[in-house]
Amino acid sequence: MHEYALADAVIAAVRKTAADERLARVLRVEVRVGALQSIDEHTFARALDTVRPPDDARFAAVEFALSLVPVRCRCRPCGAEYGPEVGAEADAHGAEAIHFVPELAHSYLRCPRCQSPDFDILEGRGVTIGRIEGERDE
């Protein structure tokens, strides 16, 4: 599953931040999962746990707090703001394509008002890190 590649990216970003900020322990990482990508939260949580570096003491007590971010789009031609439901609006192939590369929403989803594929994804695109909490040694 390619969720593991995304989880791996989250861990790499946290490790970089921990190094930059000289954190001795990473305690909590807020991970925002955009609904557009249709990533199963449980699968992603398991992936994070799997790719977490077992030999890095900074991660020994880390908690990954996942939250699902609803999709919000704005159509460029007509200005409509809407929240597409990928599962209901794209066929199975399209939904799977968007799962891999969320920008393929422009291939398989349309503005509900004017049917344009020219829209901005304002929120809920993919995986981002909202916040990293940790401690430094005194």
Partner 1 sequence: MIDPRLAVIDTRLAGVRRIVAVTGGKGGIGKSTIACLLALAAADRGLRTGLFDLDLTSPTDHVILGAPTGFPDEEFGIDPAMHAGVGLMSLALFAGSTPAPLRGDALTNAVLELLAITRWGELDLLVLDMPPGLGDTALDAMRFVPRCEYLVVTTPSTVVRETVRRTLRLLKERGAPVLGLLENMQVGESGTAALAAEFGATVLGSVPRDDALEAATGDPDALRKTAAAAALRAIAPL
Q: Which residues bind partner 1 (CB under 8 A)?
A: 1-2, 4-6, 8-10, 12-13, 15-17, 32, 94, 96-97, 100-104, 106-108, 117-118, 120-121, 125-130, 132
| Closer CB to partner 1, 52 or 137, in the complex | 52
Least separation in angstroms between residue 14's CB and partner 1 is 8
Least separation in angstroms between residue 100's CB and partner 1 is 5
Least separation in angstroms between residue 10's CB and partner 1 is 4
What are the backbone dihedrals phi and psi of residue 96, each rounded to the nearest 5 degrees, phi first? -70, -40
Residues 6+ apart with CB under 8 A from 41: 33, 66, 68
| Closer CB to partner 1, 17 or 38, in the complex | 17
Least separation in angstroms between residue 126's CB and partner 1 is 7
Residues 6+ apart with CB under 8 A from 80: 74, 111, 112, 113, 114
Per-residue CA distances from 134 to 20, 45, 59, 62 (Å): 12, 19, 10, 9
DSSP state of 32: E
| Closer CB to partner 1, 42 or 138, in the complex | 42
